[in-house]
Each structure stands twice: as structure tokens, then as C-alpha cells.
Amino acid sequence: EIVLTQSPGTLSLSPGERATLSCRASQSISSSYLAWYQQKPGQAPRLLIYGASSRATGIPDRFSGSGSGTDFTLTISRLEPEDFAVYYCQQYGSSPITFGQGTRLEIK
């Protein structure tokens, strides 16, 4: 199975700053089938990005995804207070679907 490793584990930033989250795969992900989710406490995950770089419906354009092969990045251009949460990457190109361990984005 494809193992996804996210870094950093925790990212401490202030509102208005730029956030860069990384997701590295143990092998190449076919067709860039890489997604990013945001999860807040007590809530279900929310799909942000799919196909490595396409924003899901209703996602603000401050969220962007990039990368291919084994290295992927989620960028939040200017952090809003509601963006502080846990972020997971996920690959859905091969079975089993796998998730990264998550990056916690906290207010500095």
C-alpha cells in the first residue's frame, strides 16, 4: 500500500500568514489522485482539493494544491481564523485508499 507522510506534524502560524503543508508518498501516485481534507474538532472531514490541484465545490481560492508523483503541497495563501484545523492528505489512485497522519495547523 502507498504510505503518505505529512510534514510538519504541527504548524504554528498567525492569521494572515501563508501556510505550506507537505505530503510525500512512498511510491508514485497514479494520475495525481491526491486529495486534501480539513477537519475541525467534532466535525467530519471536508474535501478541499482533489486531483492534486482542483478545488472542490465552494472552497475559497486561498486554498491551492500542487505537486505530482510522490511530492504534493497544500498552500493556504492568507490564513483566516477558521482555517486552523487538522489537514489530511489522501491518495485514491490505488487500493487501499490511504491517508496521511495529518498536520495540525494551530494559531501562534
Partner 1 sequence: QVQMVQSGAEVKKPGASVKVSCKASGYTFTSYGISWVRQAPGQGLEWMGWISAYNGNTKYAQKLQGRVTMTTDTSTSTAYMELRSLRSDDTAVYSCARDYSVDTTMPGYWGQGTLLTVSS
Judged by the rule CB under 8 A, the positions of this chain that interact with partner 1 are 33, 35, 37, 39, 44-47, 50, 56, 88, 90, 92, 95-102
Q: Coil, helix or strand for 81?
A: helix
Closest approach, Cβ 12 to partner 1, in A, equals: 19
Please state whether beta strands 34-39 and 19-25 pair in parallel, antiparallel, or not at all (unpaired).
unpaired
Closest approach, Cβ 81 to partner 1, in A, equals: 23
Measured distance CA(58)–CA(47) in Å, rounded: 10
Mention every residue, 6+ apart, whose C-beta is less than 8 A from residue 60. none
Cell of 52: 492534486
Measured distance CA(3)–CA(5) in Å, rounded: 7
Closest approach, Cβ 69 to partner 1, in A, equals: 18
Q: Which is nearer to partner 1, 67 or 100 (CB)?
A: 100
Q: Which is nearer to partner 1, 76 or 86 (CB)?
A: 86
Q: Which is nearer to partner 1, 16 or 40 (CB)?
A: 40
